């Protein structure tokens, strides 16, 4: 079993072995996602150590690669699914569905049909509803199983306004109406088992006060629900535990978060449930990309690479920072002759997409790039491939996983035929 002794709280991009990554790019080509499953396990152990009495679920939306799901399930981590597709993936690796939660937002009819069919096969599955309408729609489909209510606590936090969910009207039933909604659901025959809320994504240590207030509200609500409706099995406070993307940022003090959580939730006769996603996989992944163009522009040096916003969307969508490393320059600097050390210059790294927003960084000081150089983009294990798309009719990249020193292809590279095949089939 993996222990935490001697393991860093975060894996920085500088910790990846450049020659190993270069060999992967040579064998599997670029762009290429690389996921270290051993690091995923280490992150799972860290969460289990900080929250020893909690039920821990993995938010599948962070990285739904089957290898990641299997690795975490084998480590005793449950699976939280935001869509019918994620639910279908999760049920492939579970035995009973008892450790699977379906937590959709405004689920389409087809998704609800699939979820109810899954419940018929796996009656221990938990379905979380975020609207009274969703409860009605479940009842119409004959569902009277395990029901959790997503509530809106009126407080949000996270790394960007687009991922702060706790106060966004899209997410959950207003907390002040939760008792009445759950009492009605119980009267209608549903098996009411829990309440759920999620404050946001990428919560950092300096947002601990907001997290504490959010958890405190959930504890108060749980006590009110218990008094009015009956005992709950769990209180799910979501995930959102941040990881440091910038090199100078300190890792999240997970022990402090756990202690603050226990204090804030208070005396509740129900199990605490958490469902991180990013924390498991972000620093376990990198994206490899090759330089194809170096251009001196008026105000910057423009470096074009073969990955773009279709490969990694986060910088374009959230203005997110990802560390970038020139592996070729580092290998040259570390070589035995030692005479190929490059200078640094401010560079704008951009992809091949026909959009001005297709930029990974602007005027970042990096070793001078040359055509053919291999770059690594760090913290790409979360919301990397999951948000990849086929804009400009570009095929999505391949993915490999590393486990116990062995590399295997986990997802083949798409082709242009893959992009157009659904049109031909119609």
N- to C-terminal Cα distance for the chain?
50
pLDDT surpassing 90 at residue 60: yes
Question: Exposure of 158 by Cβ count < 10 A (0-12 exposed, 13-18 middle, 19+ buried)?
Answer: buried
Mean pLDDT of 254-275: 92
Rounded to the nearest 10 degrees, the angle between the axes of helix 208-229 and helix 178-187 is 40
pLDDT surpassing 70 at residue 232: yes
262 is in an annotated binding site: no
97 is in an annotated binding site: no
| Collapsed DSSP state (helix, strand, coil) of residue 222 | helix
- Characterize the bridge pairing of strands 374-377 and 398-403: unpaired
Please give the Cα distance from 178 to 220 (Å, whole number): 12
For residue 224, what pLDDT is reported?
95
Q: What percent of the chain has pLDDT over 90?
A: 79
User: In this predicted structure, which of 82-91, 156-165, 248-257 has the lowest mean pLDDT?
Assistant: 156-165
pLDDT surpassing 60 at residue 2: no
Active-site annotation holds for 81: no
pLDDT surpassing 80 at residue 289: yes
| Collapsed DSSP state (helix, strand, coil) of residue 41 | helix
314 is in an annotated binding site: yes
CA–CA distances in Å: residue 176 to residues 134, 147, 218: 18, 18, 11
Q: pLDDT tier at 203 (50, 70, 90 boundaries)?
A: low
Please give the Cα distance from 242 to 128 (Å, whole number): 24
Rounded to the nearest 10 degrees, the angle between the axes of helix 84-93 and helix 109-121 is 20
Sign of CA dihedral 64, 87, 54, 158: positive
pLDDT surpassing 60 at residue 409: yes
Token pair in block for residue 276: 């991180």
355 is in an annotated binding site: yes
For residue 204, what pLDDT is reported?
61
pLDDT surpassing 70 at residue 332: yes
Bigger pLDDT: 114 vs 199:
114
108 is in an annotated binding site: no
391 is in an annotated binding site: no
Please give the Cα distance from 303 to 377 (Å, whole number): 14
One-character DSSP codes across 241-285: B----STTSPPP-HHHHHHHHHHHH-S-SSEEEE--SHHHHGGGE
Whether the full predicted model's pTM is greater than 0.85, yes or no, is yes
User: In this predicted structure, which of 163-172, 266-275, 288-297, 330-339 has the lowest mean pLDDT?
Assistant: 163-172
Token pair in block for residue 381: 């294990």
28 is in an annotated binding site: no
For the chain, the farthest-separated pair of C-alpha atoms sits apart, in whole angstroms, at 78
Please give the Cα distance from 209 to 201 (Å, whole number): 15
Average pLDDT, the chain: 91
User: In this predicted structure, which of 23-32, 128-137, 145-154, 329-338 has the lowest mean pLDDT?
Assistant: 329-338
Mean pLDDT of 177-202: 91
Task: Give Cα 74 distance to the centre of its chain.
Answer: 19
424 is in an annotated binding site: no
For residue 158, what pLDDT is reported?
39
Helix (H) or strand (E) holding 49: helix 37-50
Q: pLDDT tier at 202 (50, 70, 90 boundaries)?
A: low
For the stretch 352-394, pLDDT in tens is 999 999 999 999 999 999 999 999 999 999 999 999 999 999 9
Strands, E assignment, 51-94:
55-59, 78-81
Q: Which residues of 342-371 are buried (b: 16+ CB within 10 A; e: fewer)?
A: beebebbbbbbbeeeebbbbeebebbebee
Token pair in block for residue 294: 């170096």
One-character DSSP codes across 351-393: -SSSSTT-EEEEEEEEEPP-TT-EEEESS-SSSSGGG---GGG
pLDDT surpassing 60 at residue 201: no
Domain extent listing, the chain: 38-280, 283-425
Catalytic residue among 81, 148, 354, 361: 354
For residue 206, what pLDDT is reported?
65
Sign of CA dihedral 39, 44, 49, 51: positive
Residue 155, phi-psi category: left (phi > 0), alpha (psi -120 to 50), beta (remainder): beta
Domain 38-280 fold: TIM Barrel (3.20.20)
For residue 338, what pLDDT is reported?
54
Cis peptide before 150 (omega within 30 of 0): no
pLDDT surpassing 80 at residue 316: yes
With respect to CATH, is domain 283-425 assigned 2.60.40.10?
Answer: no
Q: pLDDT tier at 200 (50, 70, 90 boundaries)?
A: low
240 is in an annotated binding site: yes
Please give the Cα distance from 382 to 54 (Å, whole number): 23
| Collapsed DSSP state (helix, strand, coil) of residue 306 | coil
Please give the Cα distance from 389 to 4 (Å, whole number): 36
Please give the Cα distance from 155 to 221 (Å, whole number): 14
For residue 57, what pLDDT is reported?
98
Helix (H) or strand (E) holding 184: helix 178-187
């Amino acid at each position: 079993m993996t222990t935490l002794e001697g393991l860093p709280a975060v894996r920085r991009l500088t910790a990846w072995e450049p020659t190993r990554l270069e060999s992967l790019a040579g064998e599997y080509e670029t762009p290429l996602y690389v996921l270290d499953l051993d690091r995923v396990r280490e992150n799972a152990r860290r969460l289990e150590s900080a929250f020893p009495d909690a039920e821990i679920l993995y938010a599948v939306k962070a990285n739904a690669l089957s290898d990641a799901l299997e690795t975490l399930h084998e480590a005793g981590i449950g699976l939280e699914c935001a869509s019918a597709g994620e639910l279908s993936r999760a049920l492939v690796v579970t035995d009973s569905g008892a450790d699977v939660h379906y937590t959709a937002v405004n689920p389409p009819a087809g998704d609800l049909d699939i979820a109810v069919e899954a419940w018929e096969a796996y009656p221990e599955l938990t379905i979380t509803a975020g609207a009274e309408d969703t409860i009605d729609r479940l009842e119409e489909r004959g569902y009277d199983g395990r029901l959790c209510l997503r509530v809106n606590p009126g407080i949000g936090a996270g790394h960007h306004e687009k991922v702060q969910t706790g106060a966004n009207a899209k997410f959950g039933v207003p907390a002040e109406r939760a008792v009445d909604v759950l009492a009605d659901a119980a009267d209608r025959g549903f098996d009411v088992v829990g309440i759920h809320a999620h404050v946001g994504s990428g919560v950092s240590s300096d947002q601990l006060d907001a997290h504490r207030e959010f958890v405190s509200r959930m504890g108060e609500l749980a006590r009110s629900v218990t008094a009015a409706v009956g005992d709950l099995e769990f209180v799910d406070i979501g995930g959102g535990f941040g990881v440091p993307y910038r090199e100078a940022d300190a890792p999240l003090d997970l022990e402090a978060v756990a202690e603050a959580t226990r204090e804030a939730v208070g005396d509740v006769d129900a199990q605490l449930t958490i469902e991180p996603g990013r924390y498991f996989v972000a620093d376990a992944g990198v994206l490899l990309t090759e330089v194809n163009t170096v251009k001196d522009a008026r105000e910057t040096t423009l470096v074009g690479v073969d990955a773009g916003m279709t490969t990694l969307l986060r910088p374009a969508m959230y203005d997110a920072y990802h560390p970038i490393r020139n592996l070729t320059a580092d290998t040259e600097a570390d070589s035995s002759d030692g005479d190929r050390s490059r200078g640094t210059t401010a560079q704008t790294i951009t992809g091949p997409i026909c959009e001005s927003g297709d930029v990974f960084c602007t005027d970042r000081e990096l070793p001078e790039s040359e055509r053919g150089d291999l770059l690594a983009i760090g913290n790409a294990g979360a919301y990397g491939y999951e948000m990849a798309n086929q804009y400009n009719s570009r095929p999505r990249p391949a993915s490999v996983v590393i486990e116990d020193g062995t590399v295997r292809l986990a997802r083949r590279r798409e082709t242009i035929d893959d992009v157009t095949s659904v049109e031909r089939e119609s």
